[in-house]
Amino acid sequence: MNDNYGEPTYSWDFSKLLKPKKSNPLINIGLFIVTFITTTIAGAEWTSGTMGPMQLSTLIENGLPYAITILLFLSFHEFGHYFAAKYHGVDTTLPYYIPFPPIPFFLNFGTMGAVIKTKSSIPNNKIMFDIGIAGPLAGFVICLLILIYGFMNVPDVNYILSIHPDYFQPEYGEGAISLEFGDSILFILLRNLFVDPGQFFPPMSEIYHYPYLCVGWFGLFVTTMNLIPVGQLDGGHILFGMFGEKKHEIVASISMIILIFMGVFGIVESFFELGINFGWSGWLFWSVILFFIIKVKHPPVPVFEPITGMRRVLGYISMFILIISFSPTPFVLTLPPGM
């Protein structure tokens, strides 16, 4: 999404559907409550491996750890933007959380993110830079803490056996749809640092059963989508604020070409089963959203000043976060023969 200053999550701007004349915190609270419910349901489904109606005790036990941590991540991201805007005197709304209903057999994290709406213009690139970078940095910090906790507290093998009693049987997974999360440099590094070599650790096709690892992975995925240096994404704000219009347009165009390539390659891979597991068809869809809705070019600001010092350091750190957190193939969906 993008707001007046361009704050995105990973979809179009749902806040425009609300269009309140005056900020009404009841809307924000209501959306938060609904999103809490949908993420609790999604978390229970992810962690238990079952879909559909379930007992309240199961819903709470399996869903709350996921719901609390994913809303914690989204809140850190959005309030990073919010407090940066308030610090600079930019009028803005509280975050609008976006729930996503539990749809069977659909890739569903219970939410489509959150968004804030700025209600006054951004006077210069430094303020725009500060607001844009505050969200992903704050979200990344809490995401990193969630991941570290998740890696340090992986339950023993009995946990996965309670979900899949036939996990170690040769026929496990035959005739079923397999969903595998993609690795990233950071995910691999944390796994090597915090998981003992002899300790059982689930493969990426089972990570979603572990709420903290699932949310941490989701946080990295959303953060990287925001940090892509295109248009009014957070990464676009950062790059534009640091280097100006011309360099931003060059990097944004190259980024779009890379996204389209990975998206097309993902489609080719899914049809011809090349076995390379590179690319994802969703990148093509995301590039369409960027091109037609968020736009590739960044709009100008009234005043442009050179960004130096700590701002510049943080800008480079954000680019480093994008590199180590990005997964070219975030989802690998394998269908059984005959489907």
For the stretch 99-142, pLDDT in tens is 998 876 567 899 999 999 999 999 999 999 999 999 999 999 99
With respect to residue 50, please indicate whether it lies within any of the assigned structural domains: yes
With pLDDT > 90 as the criterion, what percentage of the chain qualifies?
77
Contact 1, 17 (CB under 8 A): no
Lowest mean pLDDT among 16-25, 46-55, 144-153: 16-25
With respect to residue 107, please indicate whether it lies within any of the assigned structural domains: yes
Could you tell me which residues come within 8 angstroms of residue 115 by beta carbon, excluding any fewer than 6 positions away? 1, 3, 7, 8, 9, 13, 14, 15, 78, 95, 96, 98
H and E: helices and strands count for the chain? 11, 4
On the question of pLDDT at 11 being above 50, the answer is no
- Prediction pTM value: 0.91
Output Rg (C-alpha) for the chain, integer angstroms.
20
Q: Over the stretch 74-86, which tens digit does the pLDDT of each residue have?
A: 999 999 999 999 9
With respect to residue 7, please indicate whether it lies within any of the assigned structural domains: no
Q: Which of left, alpha, beta for 247 (phi over 0: left; psi -120 to 50: alpha)?
A: alpha
With respect to residue 2, please indicate whether it lies within any of the assigned structural domains: no
With respect to residue 225, please indicate whether it lies within any of the assigned structural domains: yes
Cα distance between residue 179 and residue 186, in whole Å: 20
With respect to residue 82, please indicate whether it lies within any of the assigned structural domains: yes
Token pair for 127 = 């303020």
> At 244, phi and psi to the nearest 5?
90, 180
For 191, the enclosing helix (H) or strand (E) is: helix 185-194
Average pLDDT over residues 250-275: 91
Domain that holds residue 65: 15-334
With respect to residue 286, please indicate whether it lies within any of the assigned structural domains: yes
**The total number of structural domains that make up the chain:** 1
With respect to residue 9, please indicate whether it lies within any of the assigned structural domains: no
